[in-house]
Amino acid sequence: MNEKTRITYYGQSLFVIESSNGIKIGIDPYNRLFIAKLPDIEADIALVTHNHPDHSNISLFKGNPKVIKTIGNYSVKGISIEGLPSRHRFLRGKNIIFKIKFDNIVFCHLGDLGYIHEDDLLNKLKDTDILFIPIGGTFTIDYKKAHEIIGNINPSIAIPMHYRGKNSRIRFLDTIDNFLSLAKVYKLKDKTIILSKDDLPEKSEIWVLRSS
């Protein structure tokens, strides 16, 4: 069965992943501190990696979603979710890495990851197919560390996030330019991609999604 999964990027760290049977997982919804005009989004499941306002505006999601914002293992509407403990950069608090499994694909959203020193945590992420990774520095890993982590995890697809886009109100994040300057090859995509397990590349690739 060729199951198709839809991924849409809304800027910052906000993604909506829709399974082949229509279950929508929204991750890290922001408020107007990030962008003036908020998108119109529905979600069945809402994941929050940490409580900063540009990641935790649950009211953005329509549909009364099931909210998960703690570490642990969960199964919701046939979706397998694991929240792994991690931390922000410097002393900015805790962060949750979410691994999500459905449609035979393993997704990993790193939230506002500040560093990974633990080999056991890296090992837990090495089955990742699609990796959502911050690159903007200041609060998170920077673009150099992002490339290092991509190399260590070796996902089929790495999608950069949490950087300063043209509509961002957070001006002290890095833009995507430095990250791309270190990428030997990358692909520019629309804000929404549709794929199945069979569509994943054999060798790791960087895909840049246009944010809405």
Q: What is the mean pLDDT of each run of 10 residues along the chain (212 residues)?
A: 86 95 96 84 96 86 96 96 84 86 97 80 92 91 94 96 80 88 95 97 96 71
> What amino acid occupies position 152?
N
- Report how far residue 143's alpha carbon sits from residue 177's, in angstroms, rounded to the nearest whole number: 9
For residue 89, what pLDDT is reported? 64
Element (H, E) at 74: strand 72-76
For residue 54, what pLDDT is reported? 79
- Report how far residue 141's alpha carbon sits from residue 160's, in angstroms, rounded to the nearest whole number: 12
For residue 174, what pLDDT is reported? 86
Domains in the chain: boundaries: 5-209
What are the Cα distances from residue 17, in Å, to 23, 27, 71, 148?
Answer: 8, 8, 20, 25
For residue 15, what pLDDT is reported? 97
User: Which class does domain 5-209 fall in?
Assistant: alpha beta
Q: How many CA atoms lie within 13 A of 70 on its CB side?
A: 3
For residue 90, what pLDDT is reported? 59
Residues 6+ apart with CB under 8 A from 38: 30, 31, 32, 60
Residue 211, phi then psi, degrees to nearest 5: -85, 145
For residue 91, what pLDDT is reported? 57
For residue 36, what pLDDT is reported? 75
| Pair 171, 146: CB distance under 8 Å | no
- Report how far residue 127's alpha carbon sits from residue 159's, in angstroms, rounded to the nearest whole number: 16
- Tens digits of per-residue pLDDT, 108-167? 999 999 887 667 788 899 999 999 999 988 889 999 999 999 999 999 999 999 998 777
Helices marked H in 28-124: 119-124
For residue 199, what pLDDT is reported? 97
